[in-house]
Structure 1
């Protein structure tokens, strides 16, 4: 996965001698005193596992594992409102069972530090490169693995993507990989992954941003890939106006358009139906 990611970024391979060991983030654990089981609890979803969601309390760094009746269409980066039923600990780790009442995307409430934008060269328009979180060479995933791995080969990559998001929700490549994984299975679910990634990027690329983010600057590739996935997912769902806006935005950010987003925008404007396999990210 490291070699694939670095190839996607256009960087040289890392030798095993120079590769660092992936490190997790140590967080405080939620206690029973942090919860009021008589009312809904708001949790920031950090990662999804086959049977649970790893979360932290909204407005806090205290973590807890949620076991809910269903995690359908729940993704890392969402805020889940949970009607709790039971709190317990096992092996020193806190757990909460309950029913998810609702989920929402509100990246401004997550308390994230915006990804930095570094000016690469002056304009007009000025070109910027976005910070890549988790620059440990083992902390990386290539979003295109979602379409290149064979049947039965995704489990390890899925686990890696979720682990990366648990460490840093700003990992746009991980959001994009998970969106790509679901695009052909459940575009409605995939849309949540892409939207979380795009909204996190918007903490850095705010309204009125008049620079460009060229694909040739490797730090921009996770955002540009996430934005393309978002636009194409909206296209697949035939949400035409929204899809056209996102693709137009992508062309504004990367006017050289090396991935021919312009032709996709033209197809959306003409209301042409989505065809599986017609794109790459």
Structure 2
């Protein structure tokens, strides 16, 4: 009986001993996940290396993870319920790294070789070419009617089907940005805008030096993402980052349909976003 008890004790201790050993030698296993639907206490994701769907459950992460973001988990428990894999554990890092997702880049088309003007290609799962409305416009209409939960869920469904939909990320950011006066929500909006902008950088190529006219409507999601980033950095007091993005927008789209020329002098002068919008 004493031998059996000793073996049981050792068996129960092995996971803890193994973990302590791995911590000591610096080889503790972690898992990288990609968020496709982020909630307060659970995140639907897929494993970065295998694309296997998994749901993370917990509440111990430093900042809200957003859709399209990679987060690293130190796993404590893994289980399956109704054929869905679950994982719990501490989130130890987060990053936005679009190339690491190994997505197929959307094409970019030259529409005027002499002017070096290009149009990006947009993807909106659920959109029909024979209809004016699409899930993005439907989400905006729901939001305008005060149906925020339904609007958010519609955008989330688009992203679940295809992370490459820049406009869905941008409108999620719009919803969170609000009046731009809440630092917490502006920081969350910035992450969504950044996912959208980084997707655009990835599609265009990081050395892209052409023009992206607003009149080519499929350029608009990317231009909106950059505009949103600019406003967030301005609202957070990072005038240098805001000004840099504003100048890039004027370079991409000289017709300046977004009114960047009106806010850039204020950003360069260090006028706070709050004061400018009073």
| TM-score band, normalised by shorter chain | 0.7 to 0.9
Equivalences for residues 20-59 of structure 1 within 5 A = 39-59=29-49
Whether 1:115 and 2:106 are equivalent positions in the alignment is yes
Whether 1:80 and 2:67 are equivalent positions in the alignment is no
Verify the 8 A CA contact 2:143 2:151 in the aligned structure 1.
no
Residue segments in structure 1 that go unaligned for 5+ positions in a row: 1-35
Q: Secondary structure at the match of 1:95?
A: strand
Q: Distance in 1 between matches of 2:86 and 2:269?
A: 50
Q: Distance in 1 between matches of 2:226 and 2:275?
A: 18
Q: Distance in 1 between matches of 2:125 and 2:212?
A: 19
Judged with a 3 Å threshold, the aligned counterparts in structure 2 of structure 1 residues 39 and 146 are, in CA distance, closer, same or farther, namely: farther
Q: Distance in 2 between matches of 1:272 and 1:123?
A: 39
**1:153-207: CA deviation from partner (whole Å, max 9, x where unpaired):** 1101111112211211111111111111111441111111111111111112234
Judged with a 3 Å threshold, the aligned counterparts in structure 2 of structure 1 residues 214 and 144 are, in CA distance, closer, same or farther, namely: farther
Task: Give the stretch that moved more between structures: 136-145 or 153-162.
Answer: 136-145
Verify the 8 A CA contact 2:139 2:151 in the aligned structure 1.
no
**Structure with greater helix share of residues:** 2
Q: Distance in 2 between matches of 1:95 and 1:137?
A: 31
Q: Distance in 2 between matches of 1:225 and 1:46?
A: 21
TM-score of the aligned structures, taking structure 2 as reference length: 0.79
Q: Distance in 2 between matches of 1:214 and 1:53?
A: 37
Number of equivalent positions: 241
Q: Distance in 2 between matches of 1:99 and 1:193?
A: 22
Q: Distance in 2 between matches of 1:148 and 1:163?
A: 15
Verify the 8 A CA contact 2:193 2:228 in the aligned structure 1.
yes
Q: Distance in 2 between matches of 1:205 and 1:154?
A: 32
Judged with a 3 Å threshold, the aligned counterparts in structure 2 of structure 1 residues 61 and 277 are, in CA distance, closer, same or farther, namely: farther
Q: Distance in 1 between matches of 2:76 and 2:141?
A: 36
Q: Considering Cα pairs closer than 8 Å and 6+ residues apart, tell me whether 1 or 2 has the greater RCO.
A: 1
Displacement of 1:210 after TM fit?
2.3
Whether 1:61 and 2:51 are equivalent positions in the alignment is yes
Verify the 8 A CA contact 2:36 2:163 in the aligned structure 1.
yes
Whether 1:219 and 2:218 are equivalent positions in the alignment is yes
Q: Distance in 2 between matches of 1:143 and 1:199?
A: 25
Displacement of 1:149 after TM fit?
2.1
Counterpart of 1:180?
Answer: 174
How well do the aligned residues superpose, as a CA RMSD in angstroms?
2.5
Q: Secondary structure at the match of 2:136?
A: coil
Whether 1:93 and 2:107 are equivalent positions in the alignment is no
Displacement of 1:229 after TM fit?
0.3
Residue segments in structure 2 that go unaligned for 5+ positions in a row: 1-18, 23-27, 129-133
- Decide which structure has the larger Cα Rg and report it: 2
Verify the 8 A CA contact 1:128 1:212 in the aligned structure 2.
yes
Counterpart of 1:141?
Answer: 136
Judged with a 3 Å threshold, the aligned counterparts in structure 2 of structure 1 residues 135 and 101 are, in CA distance, closer, same or farther, namely: closer
Displacement of 1:130 after TM fit?
0.9
Decide which of 97, 102, 108 is 2:93's aligned counterpart: 102
